[in-house]
Structure 1
Amino acid sequence: MSTAQSLLESRPVSVAHLFLSRVRATPDLEAYRYPAPSDDGSSGTEQWHSLTWAQTGERVKVIAAGLLALGVRPEERVAISSSTRVEWILADMGVMCAGAAATAVYPSTNADETAYILADSGSRAIFVENAAQLAKVIAHADRLPGLDHAILFDPQADAIPVDGLEVLSLAELEKLGTAHLEEHPDAIEAAVGAIEREQLATLIYTSGTTGRPKGVRLVHDCWSYQGVAQEVSGLLRPDDVQFLWLPLSHVFGKALISGQIRTGHVMAVDGRVDRIITNLPAVRPTVMASAPRIFEKVYNGIASRARAEGGAKYKIFLWAAQVARDYARAQQNTVAATARRQVPLWLSVQHALADRLVYRKIRAAFGGNLRGSVSGSAALAPDIGYFFAGAGVPVLEGYGLTETSAACTVNPADDLRVGTVGKPLPGTEVRIADDGEILLRGPGIMRGYHNLPEKTDEVLESDGWFHTGDIGEVDGDGFVRITDRKKDLFKTSGGKYVAPTEIEGRFKAICPFVSNVLVIGNGRNYCTALIALDETAIMPWAASHDLGGRGYAEVVSSPQVHELIDGFVQRVNGELQRWQTIKKFSVLPRDLDVEHGELTPSLKVKRPVVEREYAEAIEAMYEGSREA
């Protein structure tokens, strides 16, 4: 038996067990960093504060004991509605160590859907970040007769009285916990000791591109498996410094906590997206997880700045970007090839020069220590992946779903294959069905949808195989490639199948101005596209092309911008089969966003919503066409 197999088979019952073991093993080592007002009280200034594992353990125990004092019992649900911050982690671990189960709620979820999630999950209590999150709960309190307690991370001066709902601050809950532990000093060890592998640990509701979200039942063993699998795969190491900004309400962020507790490395926590660029040089992470959109925005930002500087600097950037891609492709071929060919000397020389001129600045912007950044949630355009790999910031694309407790495959840092989502984590099996659908089996697979047995039966077979709904393939080396979502594949009226995400990925790779793009064509006789532009990229271009002083909506509707985007569309069309080409496109008057319901909180496009919103624009692109 291999070491990896041995570690997996002997994994702890739960992350709660893992957490208590971690606190005992390395009490004085740093566990978390988090931003807070400076100690000198200077107005408007922040600095990073730290918690050791011992300090973290003390906070978690009193939170867990506070929940026990409130009457929360094993597997009863306690919700968390907050942005990513260290208190989210403390609350989640407190829920686990009390033997209860956490219900994750996105802070961007509206009041109606928040009430639906709390009612469907049967949550007894909820941690809320601030008064705004509490207000969403109060707005539909009449639909939540089982919700007894709300705990505020950021206390408000005047608690709002609500019949049947007790509002506490986190500090007040911890005082309750301290008193409970004085009477029952072994309460938390007893609660953790009673946890079983198949006991419910978390309900995460799918962000859902259509309809009401479904509650995914993830048991304690799912998270214990994730922690050990991330360690044995080499994804996380004990000496890492990880920067976490991903939503902890999302399964990706939540899984990373399991890996961090297993390895014991430092995690810097700040979910404010507008602070990412500022935080990176301060944190200097060795590893970071992200969504593809962040890498696309970084790349577009670099390209836009180079274009604005013009002349030689822009030409140098374009040259260096191509060298990075060529170098990364050559490296990948070297690793993959049986003969293990070497990167050509001439390319190595060019790469070394480009490194001094361009790449080292890019690495510095990421803090200078990044050995890898894990990307998930959606597909990363291969050209962008090759660019960052060649620049020394490898993006390790992985794959997973809420139903698989996040990661089930990931690219190894020492054998990166751009365009794939890597190899299965140890303990996870992958099988391709006859129709090309990817099936998964392993300890991380959900135990079903909450209160939805029929929906569970649709995707989960009796022998444990889970139907992902994704189409893909596995190569001879075991690397998995996703080719499309099964439900997103469409057939033109001419009978040709089109994979829209493949075309969309190609367009994002060559157009530095795009933010989101949707290829349309189901049942039509040709393909079209809805294109939303990145304001931070297009506005500087507009200012230098006689469009200065105009607003975003006016700029994107201008003939100049239409001509600009048309050039990129024609470039993509040159790489496609005839039936895949984009015959017409419409530039949207604004970008897609979560607030308008067009993106999920994890930034996936809700295709049906966008197609309904822009139905007139779509129909206009097909006016006068003859349907075959």
Structure 2
Amino acid sequence: RDRLPAVRCCVLLEGEGDGDWALSFAQLVARGKEHKARVPGDLQQRLAQQRRDEVSTILYTSGTTGAPKGVMTTNDQFIFAAEALVGSGLFARDDTHLLFLPFSHAFAQVIKVAWFGSGLQMIYAESWDRLVDNAGETGPTVLSGVPRVYEKAFSYAVADGLAEKGLSETLFRVAMREFEKYAEAKEKGQSYSSFAFELARTLVFPEMKEALSKRFGGRIRTFVSGGAPLEQKIAIFFDLLGFDILEGYGLTETIGLTSVNLPGQNKPGTVGRLLPGVEVKIAGDGEILERGRQVMRGYLGMPEATSEAIDAEGWFHTGDVGELDIDGYLRITDRKKDLIKTSGGKYIAPQAIEGALKTMSDLISQVVVIGDRRKYVSVLVTVVEDQAKKVAAEAGEPASSYRDATSSKAVRARVQDAIDRLNATLPSYETVKRFTILDRDFSIESGELTPSLKVRRKAATQKFKAQIDAMYDAESHH
């Protein structure tokens, strides 16, 4: 209490308060009833005095590119979000929505106002780890999540298929080979057909759809993805199985809302069309600029940072690089600050390489691309512990811990194979020359992941500096 002089009172959701500075939830309710009886009409009066342009909430940026900044979010931004999401038909009254993101995240705040605006039923997941179990228990129709949720679902689907025996396994391998060709064609805007692909569509993919649907409670029809870029191959996979996986785009500064794909108008690989009232223009260097009711008031106590972010004409500079296609769909290519320039002068978008490598193997958990002002590209990799132990054991290298598994020759060979397949799709200056498997996975607690499971690039590169430098030492043989 002494260290928080500006805080008048705090409310405990669990446990007993002291009735003075720390109130239990029950004490808060009792105080409210007492106040209402003493000053009737006070709440109505305060509500009537609320203005649209007043600051309602301060949300902090995730700090992936530096220190978190307090974003002053107004009442009108929230009203805009409710109107846009309910008006677009993305959420309806008869939906049941499962949410696991914390309310400190703009994406969760947007879902919250869509809930108030549409009257849908909201389910809170107990935690990120229990998300799939909770979906199985509650049967939601809509799930909003970050790409990590869908990457894991994809990996599980592949692992389940590979665990089959005999003819089923053979069919599954053929199906996944055909899916790779189909996805490659879709990414280039081409169509793909073959006898084997049609066979997979009849025999394999419907079973995968049923298994995935069951995994999420059996009623799911829509997955919404935001908070970070979704790898196009994963969007194509869900789409092929017949699910709506709708990717949207927005930043904390724009109340998480700029554009979104809608059911029946979904274009995988893009973040959808602009929401009504949102203006976007692409600057000369490819940066996305936006203007409209969705833009914040400014950064709390940071007037210089605010005027850097919002120019004199009211355009907010997002720091993301992207383009609008002929149909008005927005495509994000990378964070401007994340672009890597090799010592050969070539610019590389690391997120694209990281996302692609994660889809190459169900063994890979996280990837960080290194290469800024370096002679070549290398990667830090973490693995999925259960999968790594399994691969090691099958190769006669039993591993009792995560660390043991990472030193298994078979695990290294599997990662190398994924990198080789990725490299075959990349221009030579983007190919990954070396890799290091780290001896533990990233986590929110250890500081490499944000609460929305995005990698804090700066934290990871500082923490594993020795491993990174070793990949560029002349005598290194990773």
Q: TM-score range by the shorter chain?
A: over 0.9
Q: Is the 8 A contact 1:308 1:540 kept in 2?
A: no
Partner of 2:315: 465
Q: Which runs of 5+ in 2 are unaligned?
A: none
- How is 1:254-265 mapped onto 2 (pairs within 5 angstroms)? 254-265=109-120
In structure 2, what is the Cα distance between the partners aligned to 1:196 and 1:277? 40
Does residue 400 of structure 1 match 2:250? yes
Alignment of 1:539-578 (within 5 A): 539-578=389-428
Counterpart in the other structure of 1:148: 8
| Distance verdict in 2 for CA 1:154–1:257, change over 3 Å | same
1:440 has 2:290 as partner: yes
d(CA) in 2 for partners of 1:590, 1:468: 33
1:241 lines up with 2:96 in the alignment:
yes
Deviates more, 1:577-586 or 1:189-198: 189-198
Please state if 1:169 is matched with 2:169: no
Select which of 494, 509, 528 maps to 2:359. 509
Q: Contact between 1:324 and 1:391, CA under 8 Å: does it hold in 2?
A: no
**Structure 1 counterpart SS, 2:79:** helix
Amino acid at match of 2:71: V
CA distance in structure 1 between the partners assigned to 2:166 and 2:393 by the alignment: 17
Cα distance between partner residues in 2 of 1:411 and 1:479 = 8
Match of 1:277 among 132, 153, 176: 132
Q: Report the RMSD for the aligned CA atoms in angstroms.
A: 2.5
Superposed, which structure 2 residues align to 1:519-538 within 5 Å? 519-538=369-388
Q: Please, which of 350, 353, 363 is the counterpart of residue 500 of structure 1?
A: 350
Taking a change above 3 Å as real, the CA distance of residues 155 and 450 of structure 1, as seen in their structure-2 partners, is same
- CA deviations on 1:263-302 (whole Å, 9 max, x unpaired) are 1111112242222222213322221100111111122122
Shift in alpha-carbon separation, 1:229–1:625, aligned structure 2, 3 A: farther
**In 2, distance between residues paired with 1:326 and 1:289?**
28
Amino acid at match of 1:143: R
Taking a change above 3 Å as real, the CA distance of residues 619 and 311 of structure 1, as seen in their structure-2 partners, is: farther
| Structure 1 segment 197-208 matched on structure 2, within 5 A | 197-208=52-63
The verdict on how the C-alpha distance between 1:347 and 1:572 changes in structure 2, with shifts beyond 3 A counting, is closer
CA distance in 2, matches of 1:237, 1:325: 34
Q: Name the CA distance, whole Å, in 2 between partners of 1:168 and 1:547.
A: 56
2: CA distance, partners of 1:206 / 1:293: 19
Answer whether contact 1:240 1:265 (CA < 8 A) is retained: yes
- 2:38 corresponds, among 157, 166, 183, to 183
Q: 1:382, 1:509 within 8 Å by CA — same for their partners in 2?
A: no
Distance in 1 separating the partners of 2:170 and 2:119: 45
Task: Give me the identity figure in percent.
Answer: 38
User: CA offset at residue 597 of structure 1?
Assistant: 1.1
C-alpha separation in 2, matches of 1:574 and 1:331: 18
Q: Give the residue type in structure 2 aligned to 1:155.
A: G
Classify 1:332/1:612 alpha carbon distance in 2 versus 1 (closer, same or farther; 3 Å): closer
**d(CA) in 1 for partners of 2:394, 2:166:** 14
Match of 2:324?
A: 474
Equivalent residue number for residue 170 of structure 2: 315
Do the aligned partners of residues 625 and 574 (structure 1) sit closer, same or farther apart at CA in structure 2, a change above 3 Å counting? farther
Contact preservation (8 Å) 2:339, 2:347: yes
Given that residues 340 and 349 in structure 2 are in contact (C-alpha distance below 8 angstroms), is that contact kept between their aligned partners in structure 1? yes
Indicate the SS of the match to 2:249.
strand
* Contact 1:325/1:390 (<8 A) preserved: no
Question: Could you tell me how far 1:344 is from its partner in structure 2?
Answer: 8.6
Matches for 1:27-176 after TM superposition, within 5 Å: 141-156=1-16, 159=17, 166-176=21-31
Is 1:452 the equivalent of 2:294? Answer: no
SS at match of 1:260: helix
User: What whole-Å deviation, never above 9, does each CA across 1:476-511 have from its counterpart, x for those lacking one?
Assistant: 001111111101111111111111111111111212
Question: SS of the counterpart of 1:212?
Answer: coil
Residue 425 (str. 1) matches residue 280 (str. 2)? no
- CA shift, 1:364, in A, is 2.0
Q: Under a length normalisation based on structure 1, what TM-score does the superposition of the two structures give?
A: 0.72
Shift of the alpha carbon at 1:525? 0.8
Q: Could you say what secondary structure the match of 2:62 adopts? A: coil
What residue in structure 2 maps to residue 362 of structure 1?
212
- Post-superposition shift, 1:191? 1.6
CA distance in 2, matches of 1:308, 1:351: 20
Residue 446 of structure 2: aligned partner: 596
Secondary structure of 1:268 counterpart: strand
- AA of the residue aligned to 1:556: T
Mapped contact 1:330–1:343 kept (Cα < 8 A): no
When normalised by structure 2's length, the TM-score is 0.93
1:193 equivalent among 24, 33, 48: 48
The change in CA–CA distance for 1:266 and 1:186 in structure 2 (over 3 A counts) is: same
Contact 2:187–2:232 (Cα < 8 Å) also in 1 = no
In the aligned structure 2, how far is the partner of 1:570 from the partner of 1:332? 20
Q: What secondary structure is seen at the aligned counterpart in 2 of 1:368?
A: coil
- Contact map agreement 1:491 1:498 (CA 8 A) in 2: yes
Query: What amino acid is the match of 2:105?
Result: H
Please tell me the residue identity of whatever aligns with 1:483: T
Give, as a single letter, the amino acid of the residue that structure 2 aligns with 1:296: E
Structure 1 residue 539: Cα displacement: 2.3
Distance 1:449 1:377, change over 3 A: same
